[in-house]
């Protein structure tokens, strides 16, 4: 018997999910990176922006291991977290609507707000975020579990996100890890549009959960708001998300109570008979 996988997407950000509590998915090290990159390849594999393994955790309902499309283990993935919560509930790993899971940056909570057919609406709580660092008049760095550069612009529809994002991501300033790049338009005090170049995928994605969260926090800072809490509606190319948080009482403090709300949709399931398929014998033997 092969390895069963499920495909989910959250506002167009798509993922391969595997219940690995029994350890059926066995590749490790360089071999794991090559296998996952092959599975995420849209021409030679299943196709996805990333792969997520759900494993046992002593203190949480499950542990989420997230891998970028290049096969490397990634930092926190907001949309992937919602998809992991939906997957855990739909497969019976977690039976209650409230759950806790462990990611690379620590423990998180998730809540199923609604569920109809293949679509879940899910809220995920992120860790506190340090106050954005201003780079210039229109750009900030925000770390929301993943590092993000937020660039404000009045015109993002005409932006070459791939070219400009790739140049920034690979620049000496952000080497060697690189940075995710978000191009953001502020519509009003509580609504934004965001386009994201995502490292690890190395392309524009239809949505990035930690990216829209970074954009909302940077926008609040950029506009100089003083109210002790807010919620922002964010439109990405793949759909709509909502970000809420409590801002710091002082400009230097952290943002707290951060949560990201949006859909997680089951697409299909399948079975990997041979997940080494497509690798050379040398790669399989490593």
The rounded distance, in Å, linking the Cα atoms of 133 and 69 is 28
- N-terminal to C-terminal alpha carbon distance within the chain: 23
Dmax over CA atoms of the chain, in Å, equals 60
Q: How many CB atoms lie within 10 A of CB 103?
A: 24
Write down the domain spans for the chain.
3-123+267-285, 133-254
Sign of torsion over alpha carbons 168, 254, 104, 79: negative
pLDDT tens per residue, range 111-134 = 999 999 999 999 999 999 999 999
Q: What is the mean pLDDT of residues 251-267?
A: 94
Determine which one of 40, 77, 83, 277 is catalytic.
Answer: 77
Set 40, 83, 208, 277: catalytic member: 208
- Please check whether the two domains, 3-123+267-285 and 133-254, share a CATH topology: yes
How confident is the model over 20-69, as pLDDT tens digits?
Answer: 999 989 888 889 999 999 999 999 999 999 999 999 999 999 999 999 99
SS3 71: coil
3-class DSSP state for residue 82?
helix
pLDDT at residue number 229:
66
> CB–CB of 194/148 below 8 Å?
no
CATH assignment of 133-254, given 3.40.50.720, 3.10.310.10, 3.40.50.970, 3.20.20.140? 3.10.310.10
Confidence of residue 275 (pLDDT cuts 50, 70, 90): confident
Q: How far apart are CA 190 and CA 245, in angstroms?
A: 12
- How far, in Å, CA of 85 to CA of 65, rounded? 13
> Concatenated DSSP letters for 91-132?
TTS--SSEEEEEETTEEEEEEEEEEETTEEEEEEEPPPBPPP
Please tell me the pTM assigned to this model.
0.94
Q: How many CA atoms lie within 13 A of 3 on its CB side?
A: 19
Beta bridge partners of 152: 184
The stretch 73-101 carries a mean pLDDT of 97
77 counts as catalytic: yes
CATH-assigned architecture of domain 3-123+267-285? Roll (3.10)
pLDDT digits (tens, 9 = 90+) for 144-197: 999 999 999 999 999 999 999 999 999 999 999 999 999 999 999 899 999 999
Cα gap 145→143, rounded to integer Å: 6
Active site residue 40: no
Q: What is the dihedral of CA 50, 282, 27, 16, to 10 degrees?
A: 20
Look at the chain and count its residues. Answer: 286
């Amino acid at each position: 018997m092969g390895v069963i996988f499920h495909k989910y997407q959250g506002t167009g950000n798509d993922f391969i999910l595997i219940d690995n509590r029994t350890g059926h998915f066995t590749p490790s090290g360089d071999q794991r990176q090559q296998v996952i990159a092959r599975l995420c390849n849209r021409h030679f594999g299943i196709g996805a922006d990333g792969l997520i393994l759900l494993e046992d955790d002593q203190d949480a309902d499950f542990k989420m291991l997230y891998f970028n499309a290049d096969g490397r283990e990634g930092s926190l993935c907001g949309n992937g977290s919602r998809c992991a919560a939906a997957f855990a509930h739909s497969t019976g790993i977690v039976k209650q609507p409230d759950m806790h899971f462990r990611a690379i940056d620590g423990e998180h909570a998730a809540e199923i707000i609604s569920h109809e057919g293949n679509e879940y609406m899910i809220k995920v709580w992120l860790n506190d975020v340090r106050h954005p660092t201003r780079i210039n008049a229109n750009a900030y760095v925000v770390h929301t579990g993943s590092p993000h550069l937020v660039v404000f612009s009045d015109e993002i529809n005409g932006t070459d996100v791939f070219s400009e994002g790739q140049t920034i991501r690979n620049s000496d300033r952000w080497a060697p890890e690189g940075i995710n790049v978000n191009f953001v338009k502020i519509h009003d005090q509580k609504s934004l549009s965001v386009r994201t170049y995502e490292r690890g995928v190395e392309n524009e994605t239809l949505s990035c959960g930690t990216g829209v969260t970074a954009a909302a926090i940077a926008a609040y800072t950029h506009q100089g708001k003083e109210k002790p809490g807010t919620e922002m509606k964010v439109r990405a190319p793949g759909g709509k998300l909502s970000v809420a948080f409590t801002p710091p009482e002082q400009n230097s403090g952290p943002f707290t109570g951060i949560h990201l709300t949006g859909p997680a949709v089951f697409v299909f399931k399948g079975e990997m008979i041979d997940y080494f398929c497509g690798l050379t014998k040398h790669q399989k033997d490593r």
